Amino acid sequence: MSVFDTDIASGWLSRDELDNARERLPMIYVEAIPVRVDDHGNICDLGLLLRPRPDGSISHSLVSGRVLYGERIRAALVRHIEKDLGPVALPRLPVNPVPFTIAEYFPDESVSGFVDPRQHAVSLVYIVTVTGECQPTQSALDLRWISPHEALSEDLAADMSGGQHRLIIAALAHAGTI
């Protein structure tokens, strides 16, 4: 299959093309930490997805996904929030979303502490206030709302993979919560 046979309009690559690209290029992702805030904008709760792991266990994770070719960052964020939290999560994105941090994932944990065994990925990470009803969809089994205090626990850190717990701590620090 040549590059001209790829469905550019949809932004999707075939499985072989995606595997080939992952071997040669960093992939761009967005990650969102859904939050509920009080009337003063202080974080009250963080939303974490419960997802099955390949070994059958359950882990907590963030909303995340790849940015498609030709897709604006804002559109990718909304698409992944709706995909993971449902169509009535009602995310409140600023006019021009700017990530609070960037995480680089590598197959080798020693490079950055963020791990994705499939690829080198660059992830733009956002704190996103959601005001609607969240109903997890796709591969998520459930959504768990936790307090900032609970988010700092060692048990949660052990239950998250790829270094994502560090992103939660960074988000709470960025928001002035810790």
Other CB atoms closer than 10 Å to residue 63's CB: what's the count?
27
Task: Indicate the pairing of strand 27-37 with strand 43-52.
Answer: antiparallel
pLDDT, one tens digit per residue, over 31-88 is 999 999 999 999 999 999 999 887 888 999 999 999 998 999 999 999 999 999 999 9
Q: Which of 67, 15, 31, 51 is nearest to 166 (CA)?
A: 31
Q: Contact 168/148 with Cβ under 8 angstroms?
A: no
Tokens of 131: 């005001």
Task: Report how far residue 38's alpha carbon sits from residue 15's, in angstroms, rounded to the nearest whole number.
Answer: 43
**Which residue ranges form the domains of the chain, and what is each CATH number?**
28-174 (3.90.79.10)
Tokens of 115: 């791990």
pLDDT (mean) for 21-35: 93
- Lookup result for tokens 């941090």: 101
The DSSP secondary-structure symbol of 105 reads E
Angstrom distances, CA of residue 156 to CA of 20, 66, 107, 121, 165: 34, 25, 22, 23, 7
Task: Report how far residue 30's alpha carbon sits from residue 23's, in angstroms, rounded to the nearest whole number.
Answer: 20
pLDDT, one tens digit per residue, over 84-114 is 999 999 999 988 899 999 999 999 999 999 9
Q: Which amino acid is at 60?
A: H
